[in-house]
Amino acid sequence: MSPTAGRTLKFEIFRYNPEDPASKPHMETFELRETPFMSLFIALNKLREEQDPSLQFDFVCRSAVCGSCGMMVNGRPSLACKTLTSQLDTTIRLHPLPAFRLVGDLSVDTGSWFRGMSEQIGGWISEKAPFDPEAKEERMDDELAQAIYERERCIECGCCVAACAVANTRPAFVAPAGLNRIARFMMDPRDVRDEADWFEVVSSDEGVFGCLGLMGCQDICPKELPLREVYAYLRRKSLGGLLGKKAKRA
Amino acid sequence: MKITDVLVIGAGLAGERCAIEAAAAGQSVLILSLVPPRRSHSCAAQGGMQAALGNCAKAEGDSPDVHFLDTVRGSDWGADQEVARIFADNAPVAVRELAHFGVPWTRLRPGTNRYHIKGQQVDIEEPEENAGLIMHRDFGGTAKWRACYAAAGTGHATLYAVDSQVVRLGIDVLDRMEAISLVHDGERCHGAVVRCLRTGRLETILAKATVIATGGYGRIYGNYTTNAVINEGVGASLALDTGVVPLGNMEAVQFHPTGLWPAGILVTEGCRGDGGYLLNAAGERFLVDLEPEKQELASRDVVSRHMMNEILAGRGENSPNGPHLWLDLRHLGEQHLTTRLREIYEICHDFLGIRPWEALVPVRPTQHYSMGGVRVNKDGQAYGLGGLFAVGEAACWDMHGFNRLGGNSLAETIVAGRFVGARIAEFVSASGPGPDSALGIQALRAQERRLAALAERGQGGRSIYAIRDELGEIMMNRLGVFRSGDEIETAIDDLNGLIKEVEGTGLRSSAPGSNPELTFALRLPGMLKLGLITAMGALARTESRGAHYRTDYPQRNDAEWLNRTLAHWREPADAPELSYEPVGLLDLPPGHRGYGASSQVEMQQTVADYNASVPAAQTAAGRLPSTEPLGARLRPGAWQGAFSAPT
């Protein structure tokens, strides 16, 4: 373990308060003494509590499961709560995630973006029949349950959206998180939608064919989701969907 | 001003499940949340959700009756047994409904399964006929394996499934929105005054039914909590501020045995359920001798006390942050730890830089759960104020009494969400037109004056964060796992000092917009009051029950304390007012829990006499009539003959 401590850290932080007519976007510098095992969660709270009480940022769980604290750390989308200062040089540059509406300083509106994405792709189980409270649960092979869980692990932090060249230029693109979510429901036998139904959602520039394959998403995903596999799965399924569509028409 | 049938404050599992029920009944529903719904603290629940499906070999013979017995014993007889019954009977359907919503529950693998049980590696045959049913893991204080799980991300998977239904039904969620006061006339609640955490603007939302679903208030324990930073007791404060709604059992605070030390991050009980050990600095499994029957899997209050005793006896591991113990998961192996306990591996990797199949995990009992909360009747309606409901951890419904079993809270969110949601739908259908807007405007003006007064104070005094830190130290050091009269008295003096101090504390920032300092300044006085109520309840309760342990009164006392503490704060009083009500109708008579202390002061009354006193006493305490009569769901004696039933 390397609990680097005692260094003087220089934080360069993006500042802008849209609610303040006098505020203009700018970078502001703060200095802070490093403590052992200091994370950006600890550092930013210290800055707010001791130096500038107006500093805006978001943390909730502080244990890398809620996805609130995505931000650009030295130009790289990261979860701030699990970023330790000991992993970084003494100068730390923090910006809000791009591609999302800014709330203020380092805080961005990921909530509206993800709700919109869910609505766009139909991000819920379209079940075969209504719930029967009297019946035992439908059986599922544990291998399949684990595979679905692997897709389910996305915490919607938005880091992949920020890292995606397409998502930054084309707002309707469902982005890596959206494609992963589609794959999650597509592989779930409880969902009644077949490949042909999904074809409309997936097989356009807003879906998997919008992806340029730069794979910044996989490089930065804080949960290390296997996104390359997801896209290959979706492309393969889209082809099946296309054939299925033709078959239906015939 | 907005108008809706149902206003749900809080978008965690309990609030959202409640909202779904009301929306499905055709009512207009609005959900408020401090954060986007999928960031609610429900997402951090890890190890499992208790429901007696009885699917695997070690769950054979399980039933809602056994679940009921475990829950009441776990509560140290502090629970309302009818509510525990409603809970245990409905948990299976709640878990299956979640499967229907898409939760990828871990499933049963037929054939030979290797488990770690009480220090032994055991091979157990799971029959082919149960293949693919929902699997269970062991948890503390249960007679059977009962916890249903999705790796160690059960809360995450569940919250995403439930929120997907909220999206599907088109229910509006206003995120970054905080309720700062309830609109009420002393008899009936009509909605809330809310503050936007994007812009700082105030607004009134009028509603026929208002639901507090804001979770716990663990942050009054400062950093000594597993709770998320948003768990600051907003909902409990809203109810308390009405002056007419009591909080129940605030001294009943759960400490989780395995909070990561010193970060306080939760490490699931599923680790011990799956066979993990607790070790002292000498590498000894101290619980084997102390709890021969349950070992590491006694209830959380019992295990936490044994751990603190071990530390106080000098057998903890010393660290710069103070002594701790070890959680040993090495024998579970890499394969198990990166699949069925994957999130635990991630926490160890991200925050300690260790691999749990190679290294020990530093842990220490850490504040985890609030058994206390807004006191409600079995329909979830608050005592003393019609049209106000509470559900989930924010509520004292009260199935947990003085100690909650692991996995029972996640199950409560869904069971209570369904049950209370249906009652709310009936309530709204039966209620007439809402209030005229004058009441809402009046409540809004009062909040505008509150904000203006805060701004006028100017800068001065200590920072609000320094006061918060002192609160946390007082709570952990004097209202922790062990409590004594002397220490609680000093805590009360200090808390009263802080309450006075915060009245004169000004803000350093006047930034336009939501202003994070102002946001916290609005919450802090309420947090201090919750701390004081916890302390006063703990001082008055001269016995030890569940998680409330008095070193000067170490026995449970059913002769004097088989009751629930209620706390009102009637302005302009400068102190809370404590009163007591019976815990509810008794079905399982008080007795030994099967772990922990083996004796208690017996109750003097007969169970029949005790039960006869309950309806009138609770009505006098403010309980509003429920849809069904008291006791209608109890099914007295149904547990007789069940596995582990007393003979």
- Predicted confidence (pLDDT) per residue in A115-169, tens digit: 999 999 999 999 989 999 999 999 999 999 999 999 999 999 999 999 999 999 9
Query: Which residues of chain B does A155 touch, with a Cβ-Cβ cutoff of 8 Å?
Result: 38, 43, 156
| pLDDT band, very low/low/confident/very high, at A249 (cuts 50, 70, 90) | low
Query: What pLDDT is stored for residue B434 in this prediction?
Result: 77
| pLDDT band, very low/low/confident/very high, at A1 (cuts 50, 70, 90) | very low
- A186 phi, psi to nearest 5 deg: -65, -35
- Percent composition of chain B: helix, strand, coil (DSSP 3-state, to 5): 40, 20, 40
Tell me which residues of chain B, numbers 508 to 537, contact chain A at a CB-CB cutoff of 8 Å.
508-509, 511-517
Query: What pLDDT is stored for residue B297 in this prediction?
Result: 95
Kindly determine whether residue A65 and residue B107, on different chains, have CB atoms separated by under 8 Å: no
C-beta separation of B1 from B206 below 8 A:
yes
Assess whether pLDDT exceeds 80 at residue A5: no
- B253 phi, psi to nearest 5 deg: -120, 125
User: Bridge-partner residues for B363, per DSSP?
Assistant: B260, B325
Establish if B167 touches chain A: CB-CB under 8 angstroms. Answer: yes
A60, A64, A188: residue with CB nearest B102: A188
Q: Please choose, from the candidates B550, B539, B543, the residue with its C-alpha nearest in 3D space to the C-alpha of residue B495.
A: B539
Assess whether pLDDT exceeds 60 at residue B391: yes
End-to-end Cα distance, chain B: 60
Assess whether pLDDT exceeds 80 at residue A242: no
pLDDT digits (tens, 9 = 90+) for A217-239: 999 999 999 999 999 999 998 88
Establish if A78 touches chain B: CB-CB under 8 angstroms. Answer: no
Average pLDDT on A90-97 reads 98
Average pLDDT on B578-600 reads 95
Does pTM top 0.95 for this prediction?
yes
pLDDT digits (tens, 9 = 90+) for B64-111: 999 999 999 999 999 999 999 999 999 999 999 999 999 999 999 999
Assess whether pLDDT exceeds 50 at residue A2: no
Query: Which residues of chain A does B173 touch, with a Cβ-Cβ cutoff of 8 Å?
Result: 115
pLDDT digits (tens, 9 = 90+) for B335-357: 999 999 999 999 999 999 999 99
**What is the β-pairing status of strands A102-104 and A26-33?**
unpaired
Helix or strand holding residue B117 (H, E): strand B111-117
Tokens representing B256 are: 């989780």
Helix or strand holding residue A46 (H, E): helix A40-50
Kindly determine whether residue B200 and residue A48, on different chains, have CB atoms separated by under 8 Å: no
Query: What pLDDT is stored for residue A247 in this prediction?
Result: 57
B489 vs chain A: nearest CA distance in angstroms? 30
Tell me which residues of chain B, numbers 553 to 582, contact chain A at a CB-CB cutoff of 8 Å.
none
* CA B619 to chain CA mean position, Å: 25
C-beta separation of B372 from B395 below 8 A:
no
Rounded CA-CA distance B447/A52 in Å is 26
Kindly determine whether residue A54 and residue B228, on different chains, have CB atoms separated by under 8 Å: no
Q: Ramachandran region of residue B139, left (φ > 0), alpha (ψ -120 to 50) or beta?
A: beta
- The active-site residue out of B38, B195, B219, B256 is B256
A71 vs chain B: nearest CA distance in angstroms? 16
Rounded to a whole number of angstroms, the CA Rg of chain B reads 23
B537 vs chain A: nearest CA distance in angstroms? 29
Establish if B105 touches chain A: CB-CB under 8 angstroms. Answer: yes
What angle do the packed helices B154-168 and B13-24 form, to 10 degrees? 30
Helix or strand holding residue B144 (H, E): none
Average pLDDT on B485-511 reads 96
A62, A114, A191: residue with CB nearest B36: A114
| pLDDT band, very low/low/confident/very high, at B41 (cuts 50, 70, 90) | very high
B105, B168, B263: residue with CB nearest A145: B105
B311 vs chain A: nearest CA distance in angstroms? 24
Q: Give the CA dihedral B526, B529, B531, B535, nearest 10 degrees.
A: -170
Kindly determine whether residue B347 and residue A48, on different chains, have CB atoms separated by under 8 Å: no
Establish if B127 touches chain A: CB-CB under 8 angstroms. Answer: no
Rounded CA-CA distance B148/B400 in Å is 19
What angle do the packed helices B234-241 and B516-540 form, to 10 degrees? 70
Query: What pLDDT is stored for residue B597 in this prediction?
Result: 87
B10 vs chain A: nearest CA distance in angstroms? 14
Mean of per-residue pLDDT scores for chain A: 93
Burial B215-242 (b: 16+ CB within 10 A, else e): bbbbbbbbbbbbbbbbbbbbbbbbbbbb
pLDDT digits (tens, 9 = 90+) for B565-575: 999 999 888 89
Question: DSSP state, A207?
Answer: T
Q: Give the CA dihedral B444, B447, B448, B450, nearest 10 degrees.
A: 160
Q: B89 in helix, strand or coil? A: helix
C-beta separation of B515 from A23 below 8 A:
no
Q: Which residue has the higher pLDDT, A205 or B613?
A: B613
Whats the size of chain B, residue-wise? 647
Tell me which residues of chain A, numbers 85 to 144, contact chain B at a CB-CB cutoff of 8 Å.
103-104, 109-112, 114-115, 118-119, 123-125, 127, 131, 133, 135-142
Tell me which residues of chain A, numbers 223 to 242, contact chain B at a CB-CB cutoff of 8 Å.
223
Assess whether pLDDT exceeds 90 at residue B320: no
The chain B residue lying nearest A109, using CA atoms, is B36
Average pLDDT on B562-590 reads 96
Question: DSSP state, B75?
Answer: T
3-state secondary structure B602-621: CCCCCHHHHHHHHHHHHHHC
Residue for token pair 């701790």: B324
Burial B174-196 (b: 16+ CB within 10 A, else e): bbbbbbbbbbbeeeebbbbbbbb
**What is the β-pairing status of strands B172-175 and B147-148?**
unpaired
Q: Please choose, from the candidates B392, B535, B563, the residue with its C-alpha nearest in 3D space to the C-alpha of residue B471.
A: B535
Average pLDDT on B592-600 reads 91
Residue B433 burial (C-beta neighbours within 10 Å; 0-12, 13-18, 19+)? exposed
Burial A177-206 (b: 16+ CB within 10 A, else e): bbbbbbbbbbbbebbebebbbbbebbbeeb
Assess whether pLDDT exceeds 70 at residue A245: no
Rounded CA-CA distance A204/A213 in Å is 15
Tell me which residues of chain B, numbers 56 to 75, contact chain A at a CB-CB cutoff of 8 Å.
none
User: Bridge-partner residues for B327, per DSSP?
Assistant: B278, B361
Least confident of A51-55, B434-438, B590-594: B434-438
Question: DSSP state, B225?
Answer: B
- The active-site residue out of B73, B156, B184, B272 is B272
Establish if A169 touches chain B: CB-CB under 8 angstroms. Answer: no
C-beta separation of A176 from A223 below 8 A:
no
- Interface probe, candidates A39, A42, A46, A61, chain B, greatest B C-beta count within 10 A: A61
Assess whether pLDDT exceeds 70 at residue B417: yes
Edge to edge, what strands does the sheet with B253-260 contain?
Answer: B253-260, B361-370, B325-328, B277-279
B594 vs chain A: nearest CA distance in angstroms? 32
C-beta separation of A58 from A69 below 8 A:
yes
Establish if B265 touches chain A: CB-CB under 8 angstroms. Answer: yes
B219 tagged catalytic: no
Establish if A60 touches chain B: CB-CB under 8 angstroms. Answer: yes
Query: What pLDDT is stored for residue A36 in this prediction?
Result: 87
Tokens representing A129 are: 């029949």
The chain A residue lying nearest B352, using CA atoms, is A1
B272 tagged catalytic: yes
Rounded CA-CA distance B6/B34 in Å is 18
Mean of per-residue pLDDT scores for chain B: 96
Rounded CA-CA distance B214/A129 in Å is 33
Rounded to a whole number of angstroms, the CA Rg of chain A reads 21
Q: B401 in helix, strand or coil? A: coil
Assess whether pLDDT exceeds 50 at residue A250: no
Which residues, at least 6 apart from B481, have a Cβ–Cβ distance to it below 8 Å? Answer: B255, B304, B305, B308, B365, B547, B549
- Interface probe, candidates A20, A44, A49, A59, chain B, greatest B C-beta count within 10 A: A49
Establish if B228 touches chain A: CB-CB under 8 angstroms. Answer: yes
Establish if A48 touches chain B: CB-CB under 8 angstroms. Answer: yes
B170 vs chain A: nearest CA distance in angstroms? 9
Kindly determine whether residue B96 and residue A64, on different chains, have CB atoms separated by under 8 Å: no
Compute CA distances B60 → A103, B53, B145, whole Å.
Answer: 53, 9, 9
Query: What pLDDT is stored for residue B200 in this prediction?
Result: 97
Rounded CA-CA distance B74/B595 in Å is 10
- Interface probe, candidates B39, B158, B165, chain A, greatest A C-beta count within 10 A: B39
